[in-house]
Amino acid sequence: MKFWQCASLLLGIWTLFPLQQATLETEMAQAERLYQTHCAACHGPKGEGGNGPTLATPKLTRATTDELLFKVIKEGVAGTEMPGSRLDDMEIRQLGQWVRKLGQMPIEQVAGNSIRGEKLYLGKGDCASCHAINGRGSAFGPDLSEIGLRRGAKHLRASLVEPEADVPKSFLMYRPGTSVLENFLQVRVVTYEGKHIQGVRVNEDTFTIQLRDFSGRVHSFFKSELKELHKDWGKSPMPGYRAVFSPQELDDVVAYLVSLRGEK
Ligand code: HEC
Ligand code: HEC
């Protein structure tokens, strides 16, 4: 009697062990499939980042614990492009496991030097004339205080060398920490008095339009006062920097941008 009990127990363990291993593997494959379908478009197929931040890092800024990770995936991050999910809780937990697995991969190597990058940002690039970081700089372009949290290196590089390519997405951007949508449509107007003004659209309704010029001044017009009103869809007010920076300098500026994570 005892012998048979023992034997069947052993047999049970013997057959169960590979079975468990197999379910674990299919679960991971399932998690990856979910990730590729719902997340990779923004976070990159390997979590390397893109329109969204890199997930291939051991220390996530918002999703510091498994509980917070679950919450971020389920509810999204309010006021940002990170959407909430309609997947069920088990799938979300699986996704969380996959995100943690991505976090064990080698950290994205950014070739540049962020200290040199900051000097270029303030100096040669004159980026602060349009962008603000932690309250310093101009409000003409989007705030960059948390840009490293929001975008991967590849996307950041592309927005420097070919700002136009990036524009359709950028028309709608959230002001950091708020749910205020900003758009960066470039507009040019000519008044009947012959005044030419160029800037980004701040607001518009049927009868009026407000725009902010490069100096940061906001102008408001009744459309009836305007002889010409051009909206340059697909055109970025931001200059391209391919000819301004050397490849090394571009790396440095990208490294600086990646380092901007809202910490002061
Ligand atoms: C439309 C683009 C988009 C999609 C799709 C998307 N994300 Fe995000 N995600 C973002 C952005 C942008 C942020 C940064 C939000 C912020 O500013 O904090 C983010 C943030 C995160 C964070 C927090 C990172 C941190 O450092 O703590 C996690 C985790 C995350 N996303 C996981 C996912 C998962 C898993 C999916 C798929 C279910 C997904 N995301 C789908 C754009 C996206
Ligand atoms: C003449 C004003 C101007 C200057 C100068 C300028 N930018 Fe921009 N930038 C903008 C505007 C407007 C946008 C939003 C529209 C777009 O994406 O093209 C933008 C977009 C961006 C984005 C994309 C933000 C996102 O959320 O994807 C980054 C990154 C950026 N700028 C970085 C820089 C850096 C770094 C410099 C200096 C090397 C710089 N900018 C110089 C006006 C400017």
Global pTM value: 0.70
Query: Whose atoms come closest to the Cα of 93: which ligand?
Result: 1
**Which residue owns the Cα nearest ligand 1 atom 27?**
62
Judged against a pLDDT cut of 70, whether residue 182 lies above it is answered with: no
pLDDT for 53: 86
**Is residue 130 located within the same domain as residue 17?**
no
59: left (phi over 0), alpha (psi -120 to 50) or beta: beta
Average pLDDT over residues 187-194: 92
The residue range of the domain holding 175 is 114-179+238-258
pLDDT for 171: 44
Q: Which of 71, 102, 133 delimits the end of a domain?
A: 102
Higher pLDDT, 248 or 26: 248
Residue 168 binned pLDDT confidence (cut-offs 50, 70, 90): very low
| In-domain check, residue 107 | no
| Residue 152 CB–ligand 1 contact under 6 Å | no
Compute CA 38 distance to the chain's CA centroid, rounded to the nearest angstrom.
15
Tell me the CA–centroid distance for residue 228 and ligand 1, in Å: 41
Q: Which of 119, 124, 130, 260 to mutate to test the pocket of ligand 2 (most atoms within 8 A of CB)?
A: 130
| In-domain check, residue 263 | no
How far the first Cα of the chain sits from its last, in Å, is 71
Buried b (16+ CB within 10 A) or exposed e, 202-229: bebeeeebebbeeeeeeeebeeeeeeee
**Is residue 12 located within the same domain as residue 73?**
yes
**Which residue owns the Cα nearest ligand 1 atom 43?**
82
**Is residue 90 located within the same domain as residue 197?**
no
**Is residue 161 located within the same domain as residue 246?**
yes
- For 196-229, write each residue's pLDDT tens digit: 998 888 888 888 999 888 787 889 999 999 999 9
The residue among 263, 60, 250, 251 whose CA lies nearest residue 176 is 263
Tell me the CA–centroid distance for residue 238 and ligand 2, in Å: 5
pLDDT for 114: 94
With a Cβ cut-off of 6 Å, ligand 2 is lined by: 121, 125-127, 129-131, 140-142, 147, 151, 156, 159-160, 163, 166-167, 170, 173, 184, 200, 236-239, 241, 253, 257
Give CA–CA dist 218/212, Å, rounded: 4
Tell me the CA–centroid distance for residue 136 and ligand 2, in Å: 15
pLDDT for 148: 84
Q: What is the domain count for the chain?
A: 3
**Is residue 63 located within the same domain as residue 84?**
yes
The residue among 143, 142, 150, 121 whose CA lies nearest residue 61 is 150
**Is residue 26 located within the same domain as residue 94?**
yes
6: left (phi over 0), alpha (psi -120 to 50) or beta: alpha
**Is residue 23 located within the same domain as residue 40?**
yes
**Is residue 143 located within the same domain as residue 46?**
no
Average pLDDT over residues 172-191: 66
Residue 170 binned pLDDT confidence (cut-offs 50, 70, 90): very low
Q: Which of 49, 78, 102 delimits the end of a domain?
A: 102
**Is residue 195 located within the same domain as residue 215?**
yes
Tell me the CA–centroid distance for residue 95 and ligand 2, in Å: 33
Give me the CATH number covering residue 227. Answer: 2.30.30.100
Give CA–CA dist 245/252, Å, rounded: 10
